Amino acid sequence: MSKSYRSQLVGCFGNPVDENPTGVMEEAAFREKGLDFRYLTVLVRKEDLGKAMDGVRAFNMRGVNLTIPHKVRVLQYLDDLSEAARITGAVNMVVNNDGKLWGENTDGKGFLISLQKEGIDVSGKRVVVLGAGGAARAISVECALAGAERITIINRNPQRGEELVSLINSKTKASAQFLPWVDGVDVPEKTDILANATSVGLFPNTDCKPDICYDTITDRMVVTDVIFNDPNSLFLGEAKARGAKTVNGLGMLVEQGALNFKLWTGVDAPVELMTEVLRKEFNL
Ligand code: NDP
């Protein structure tokens, strides 16, 4: 076989993007598996997304991740979508198959895998999601597709919350309901899984936690947080103090990265190494 000096290119388009840690774990994984791939963290402004997606084709990039503010607007530049991406209307990763761009949303799948690895299956469960933004949409749609019995969305902005509920009710078999976020809102009785999918508690605001009634959390609930750079978020601390099993957002971040790795390279990702690399990066 003749030698190739050409690397396969992948990367992340976003703004802001400088502090996005994904490249560190993907590059470490490429090295570990001996793959000649390069991950580029690229500043792409909102108005330049179309040109940047033309660039994916022009440079024959293998794919990209999309982050703020591109996850929804990128859909117009794609040729095809996965089921989850079609339902949520948001894409966090693209695969370039010989010039045909396919969009997927691996955030929700990463969430499900991180729960499975803790022995938790969402099928038949009553799931409560705090938030209705990008992460909440990905998590709740994927839980619905995985057979959750009931999904309750609690969100500050009622219109956004209601929209997500009608999306789940119209496009999946799960039954969803909306609860308005009043101060100190109760976690509904009989909740199996409570997921914080708001940005409350995100670094540097680690002294904040969602304004819910923590005394309504019980020891039979599983409580999860999307926040990944603080495994001991105040939110999870309150849940742990009430005896709940807790799962932090690091697993979700690693697992979505591992799915992206597999979709781009066809090779199973070295998940443990990726976790270790991120732990080191976040000083955990
Ligand atoms: P969005 O901006 O799309 O959504 C933010 C959500 O948080 C909205 O529902 C918003 O409510 C809610 N919110 C913000 N402030 C408050 C508050 N003070 N009280 C109650 N609700 C509030 O962000 P994303 O969904 O993209 O990201 C959310 C979080 O998830 C971020 O911290 C992000 O880092 C994390 N994330 C983690 C991932 C992982 O792999 N672990 C993957 C993706 C995201 P409203 O609609 O009322 O404004």
Return the domain boundaries, the chain: 8-105+251-281, 108-247
Q: How far is CA 212 from the centre of its chain?
A: 23
> Are 59 and 96 a contacting pair, CB within 8 Å?
no
CATH superfamily of this structure's domain 8-105+251-281: Leucine Dehydrogenase, chain A, domain 1 (3.40.50.10860)
Alpha carbon separation from 76 to 19, 54, 211, 254, 258 (Å, rounded): 27, 12, 37, 28, 26
Substitution candidate for ligand 1 out of 115, 156, 227 with most atoms within 8 A of CB: 156
- C-alpha 42/C-alpha 79 separation (Å) is 22
H or E stretch covering 23? helix 22-32
Q: Which of 3, 46, 51, 71 is catalytic?
A: 71
pLDDT, tens digit, for every residue of 224-278? 999 988 878 999 999 999 999 999 999 999 999 999 999 999 999 999 999 999 9
Given CATH 3.40.50.720, say whether it is the number of domain 108-247.
Answer: yes
Tell me the sheet residues that pair with 94: 64, 103
pLDDT, tens digit, for every residue of 16-45? 999 899 999 999 999 999 999 999 999 999
**71 catalytic, yes or no?**
yes
Question: Fold match between 8-105+251-281 and 108-247?
Answer: yes
> Are 153 and 136 a contacting pair, CB within 8 Å?
yes
282 or 13, greater pLDDT: 13
* Backbone φ and ψ of 223, nearest 5°: -120, 125
Whole-prediction pTM: 0.95
